[in-house]
Structure 1
Amino acid sequence: MSQAVGKLLLFGATGDLAQRMLLPSLYGLHADGLLPAGLTITGTARSDHDDAGYRKFAADALDEFLPADRKDDSAVASFLDRLNYQPLDASQTDGFGVLAEKLGDISGGLAIFLSTAPWLFGPTIKGLESAGLAGDNVRIGLEKPLGRDLESSREINDIVALGFPEERTFRIDHYLGKETVQNIMALRFGNSLFEPIWNSHGVDHVQITVSETVGLEGRAGFYDDTGAMRDMVQNHMLQLLALIAMEPPARFDGTAIRDEKVKVLRSLRKMTPAEVPHLTVTGQYGPGASKGEIVKGYTEELGKPSGTETFVAIKANVDNWRWAGVPFYLRTGKRLAERRSEIVIQFKPVPHSIFADRGGQLQANTLVIRLQPEEYIRLLVMAKQPGLDRDGIRLREVPLNLALDHEFAGTRRRIAYERLLLDLIEGDPTLFVRRDEVEAQWEWIDGIRAGWEANDVHPKPYASGSWGPSAAIALTERDGVTWNE
């Protein structure tokens, strides 16, 4: 692992992400004594603050977004002492010299967190280089979106690579910072009972659902250009699929883990344009009821007609020895029935039921890994109902539950960005996404989008508060599979 740096530079330091996630995360690390003692945090954005103005801005953000039990006046005050601010128009190279002066001596190492519009990546990297802020002791964390397709992603990666080689580039997918996502590896590779059946002999299919109840929520311009496929499937969902499907890495480090993930992503079966309409479903939410309130449809919220998809369901296949013939069903959408991120591993039934003659009905075992809103791992197994069985054996599915909130009740749940920011400061790349992973993800996604275009596929309408278009149900039902709801 690299050495912890002495300075952190936040681009986009007055944006929504900074207020909701970055400042509360950095405060949390500070309050728990996890930040290097002398670490200074310099924010930069176009907004015109001085140091005192930015500290006031940060204090307001912490007041709004920190949970009450985390607020501590003396910890907040000492955290604010770490903060400085330098206004900057990142599109103009000449401002970077002043930024470098503000940062001062960076011989102790610098970590940069870049959360800006993708078109600013080029000028920002050039500006950093021109001001001597891209040397060997500087590493950079990049917040998505990294491009709109493979071509633009390569362009951005090429630009970044001019100033920062791969080992100093940390691409952020905040899902990888979630505790339950990391628990997938502990579950798979820390227990001997799953690995022997974690393959096409033992698994019937896998479902990955990331559903949201919210609509546009102030992201109208960004979202309409992006859509559900680029916003969710290309990164978060394919990363979850890779963790579920990867081979056991030789060791727990950034290279070994990412080597195995990229093998999975390259094994995703490419869809021909003719297959795409049969293996994917797109939708766009219309008016309906969400959480007991009447809500508008997507185009009403947007204020104009749009062909952007707010829902995607996909039947994917991983063509390798382990997963041949096992379908992976993915679905994600906005304004769905409930907020939920989960992975469902449906195992195959037992080869022969000894209970059938006595009326006992068996169901195949199911493993549910829930990432949000609650975090738990639940294994559904068959058990016999108590009784004398005069009228036949009664079997019932019962859950074996590992509720993380309960099992680790004394441990504070950290938001994903706390771990990722600390790993960036300390230089641990394990939970960040490597360039070849990103490009393998885009390549697969681009094939599907090309199929939509070739077939003139338009999103099917669905009512807000539902589980998406009925075609998404048909996608699984024709294989005899029902979505876990």
Structure 2
Amino acid sequence: MAKEKSAIFIIFGGSGDLAHRKLYPSLFRLYKSGFLKDHFAVIGTARRPWSDDYFRETVVTSLKDYFDDSEEVMTEFAKHFFYQSHDVNDSEHYIALKNLASKLDDQFEAGHNRVYYMAIAPRFFGTVAEHINSEGLKASGYNRLVIEKPFGRDLDSACELNGNISKAFPENDIYRIDHYLGKEMIQDIPNIRKNNPKLEQALNNKYVSNIQITLAESLGVEDRGGYYETAGVLRDMVQNHIMQIIGAVASDEPESEDADVIHKNKTELFSSLKELSPEEVDQAFVRGQYDTDNLGDLKAYRQEDNVAEDSNIETFVAGKIEFDTDRWRNVPFYVRSGKRMPKKSSRIDIVLNDQVKELGIRPNSVVTLLIERENGHSILINGVNYKEAGQDFIKFPEEAEFDKAREAYESLIIDILSGNRVHFTLWDELRSTWKYIDTIRQRWDSQTPEFPNYLSGSMGPDASEMLLERDGNSWVWDD
């Protein structure tokens, strides 16, 4: 039985898609598990003039898309939900919100704990954080600010945003969400490294030829054309998700499981990112934009809703990232992420060299960590389930059934309520990754690409393959 937690959740943007699609289903799972039970309440805020009853109806309706529980159970859960129409710039609305939160704290005996969740446009993050502080919403228990990406759109805007929220909340109370850090495999990587000494011993430039990270999607931008026109895959996937995955694989093994120690190692890794000149960007990074498919059945990116007819925004990125450390010097980290690739696949491929025979590992082996399990498997050795690969340098606890595994947001909400900051991003990490990404973005913005340059359903532009071929390497995953 899970130990019950107590808190008042104030969700800014409580009427929105993220809240109904991710947050409320995750809270319901925690309710069913007993992690949340009697001593919590959720206040949804947004500009819409909803009543509590209507808000609860929308919550129940959203749950029916994911669960087959009785409506009675869902309705009982929804009794913990309350709504307040809110203008993020109006101080009086924050005072009303404070009074409602205080009332619910007494009603549900929620321990004077507050979780402020920013499910709103990033431009409002600083304003809301400042008003929470200035209008006295903070309670006597903990006060934790949860922020969704994107955290800025370049280093300057990220610095400005961080400065604004840091005036209201100390770094230890800021939880920057990266939902990939809530995924089961990413959270398991430290245990895999700890429990497999031969693999850990091999994770350095003596034994690793290269490491590849692929986050491929089969869908196009769907209804997110407007957002993608301001972001692109470089900002949307590389700056955050891919960098954090690299951090999990490549940072030094921590001396303890303390969050500060783990983040110190990640911060040191990201601060060692090998800087690129503009000319080196041209050699190290490739961008692409999807066209229609061979049959013309699918829209090209430039034909999508809310996308400019001459858009130069990339929907595909491949690149070579290097670190200037004793451990990883001269080891390329090849990364790629793209829309309209042959299928969805999220994976880490660790390509070992022939020197690993010193460790009793078959030369030139490839260890694959599947971030999203495929065919029930999560670890492969040379393309075969690790249990059947005939090599014993990796052991892994028995895997839970995939459909019983926690959703990423569920895991992250547990961490927020428990005060565990391991699976969130710190400002020092973001500052280093934004600085690196800005160099690429600025170079690209000074050039006009020949878009579109890859067919929907393909592996991306040809230059992606050439990027590795120049080093005598090739992508492990090639559908």
TM-score (norm 2): 0.89
* Deviant stretches of 4+, over 4 Å: 350-353, 396-406, 454-460
- The answer to whether the 8 A contact 1:336-1:467 is kept is yes
Counterpart for residue 41 of structure 2: 40
Matched, 1:369 2:373: no
Deviation at 1:205, TM superposition (A): 0.3
Partner of residue 412 from structure 1, selected from 393, 396, 404: 404
Sort the Cα spacing of 1:169 and 1:332 in 2 relative to 1 into closer, same or farther, 3 A: same
- The answer to whether the 8 A contact 1:273-1:452 is kept is no
Tell me which structure has the larger Cα radius of gyration.
Answer: 1
Residues 215-238 of structure 1 deviation map (CA, whole Å, 9 limit, x = unaligned): 122111111100000000000000
Deviation at 1:4, TM superposition (A): 5.2
For 2:296 and 2:340, how far apart are their aligned partners in 1?
12
For 1:251 and 1:397, how far apart are their aligned partners in 2?
31
Aligned alpha-carbon RMSD (Å)? 2.7
- The answer to whether the 8 A contact 1:115-1:143 is kept is yes
Matched, 1:278 2:283: yes
Partner of residue 117 from structure 1, selected from 112, 118, 121: 121
For structure 2, the residue ranges without an aligned partner over 5 or more in a row are: 106-110
SS at match of 1:268: coil
SS at match of 1:275: helix
- The answer to whether the 8 A contact 1:276-1:451 is kept is yes
Deviation at 1:367, TM superposition (A): 0.2
Kindly report which structure 2 residues correspond to 1:387-398, keeping only aligned pairs within 5 A, or say none.
Answer: none
For 2:79 and 2:421, how far apart are their aligned partners in 1?
28
Counterpart for residue 478 of structure 1: 470
Residues 196-254 of structure 1 deviation map (CA, whole Å, 9 limit, x = unaligned): 11111111000000011111221111111000000000000000011111001111121
Counterpart for residue 92 of structure 1: 90
Kindly report which structure 2 residues correspond to 1:309-458, keeping only aligned pairs within 5 A, or say none.
Answer: 309-350=314-355, 364-372=364-372, 374=374, 376-380=378-382, 407-409=399-401, 412-457=404-449
Deviation at 1:336, TM superposition (A): 0.8
For 2:194 and 2:392, how far apart are their aligned partners in 1?
19
For 1:350 and 1:328, how far apart are their aligned partners in 2?
19
Sort the Cα spacing of 1:253 and 1:465 in 2 relative to 1 into closer, same or farther, 3 A: same
Which amino acid in structure 2 is aligned with residue 450 of structure 1? Q
Deviation at 1:311, TM superposition (A): 0.5
SS at match of 1:463: coil
- The answer to whether the 8 A contact 1:282-1:459 is kept is no
Counterpart for residue 64 of structure 2: 63
Partner of residue 206 from structure 1, selected from 196, 204, 211: 211
Identical aligned residues as a percent = 33
Residues 116-147 of structure 1 deviation map (CA, whole Å, 9 limit, x = unaligned): 11111232123222321145631111011110
SS at match of 2:198: coil
Query: Number of matched residues?
Result: 457
Counterpart for residue 78 of structure 1: 76
For 1:186 and 1:39, how far apart are their aligned partners in 2?
32
Kindly report which structure 2 residues correspond to 1:249-288, keeping only aligned pairs within 5 A, or say none.
Answer: 249-288=254-293
Counterpart for residue 295 of structure 1: 298
- The answer to whether the 8 A contact 1:4-1:427 is kept is no
Larger strand share, 1 or 2: 1
Deviation at 1:403, TM superposition (A): 12
For 2:469 and 2:392, how far apart are their aligned partners in 1?
27
For 1:166 and 1:16, how far apart are their aligned partners in 2?
28
Which amino acid in structure 2 is aligned with residue 285 of structure 1? Y
Kindly report which structure 2 residues correspond to 1:227-266, keeping only aligned pairs within 5 A, or say none.
Answer: 227-266=232-271
Deviation at 1:75, TM superposition (A): 3.0
TM-score (norm 1): 0.88
For 1:480 and 1:304, how far apart are their aligned partners in 2?
38
Sort the Cα spacing of 1:473 and 1:465 in 2 relative to 1 into closer, same or farther, 3 A: same
SS at match of 2:367: strand
For 1:459 and 1:363, how far apart are their aligned partners in 2?
40
For 2:218 and 2:165, how far apart are their aligned partners in 1?
35
Partner of residue 221 from structure 1, selected from 226, 229, 232: 226
For 2:396 and 2:190, how far apart are their aligned partners in 1?
15
Counterpart for residue 157 of structure 1: 162
Which amino acid in structure 1 is aligned with residue 381 of structure 2? L
Deviation at 1:273, TM superposition (A): 0.6
- The answer to whether the 8 A contact 1:265-1:440 is kept is yes
Sort the Cα spacing of 1:309 and 1:398 in 2 relative to 1 into closer, same or farther, 3 A: farther
- The answer to whether the 8 A contact 2:320-2:334 is kept is yes
Deviation at 1:372, TM superposition (A): 1.7
For 1:376 and 1:246, how far apart are their aligned partners in 2?
21
SS at match of 2:297: strand
SS at match of 1:86: strand
Deviation at 1:83, TM superposition (A): 0.9
Deviation at 1:407, TM superposition (A): 3.0
Sort the Cα spacing of 1:83 and 1:403 in 2 relative to 1 into closer, same or farther, 3 A: farther
- The answer to whether the 8 A contact 2:5-2:36 is kept is no
Counterpart for residue 30 of structure 1: 31
Which amino acid in structure 2 is aligned with residue 379 of structure 1? I
Residues 246-277 of structure 1 deviation map (CA, whole Å, 9 limit, x = unaligned): 00111112111111111111111111011111
SS at match of 2:188: helix
Deviation at 1:101, TM superposition (A): 1.9
Deviation at 1:169, TM superposition (A): 0.6
- The answer to whether the 8 A contact 2:340-2:456 is kept is yes
Sort the Cα spacing of 1:296 and 1:457 in 2 relative to 1 into closer, same or farther, 3 A: closer
Sort the Cα spacing of 1:381 and 1:96 in 2 relative to 1 into closer, same or farther, 3 A: closer
For 1:228 and 1:411, how far apart are their aligned partners in 2?
29
Q: Which stretch shifts more, 452-461 or 236-245?
A: 452-461
For 2:255 and 2:80, how far apart are their aligned partners in 1?
40
Deviation at 1:36, TM superposition (A): 5.4
For 2:30 and 2:73, how far apart are their aligned partners in 1?
11
SS at match of 2:293: strand
For 2:356 and 2:31, how far apart are their aligned partners in 1?
55
For structure 1, the residue ranges without an aligned partner over 5 or more in a row are: 354-361, 383-395
Sort the Cα spacing of 1:427 and 1:4 in 2 relative to 1 into closer, same or farther, 3 A: farther
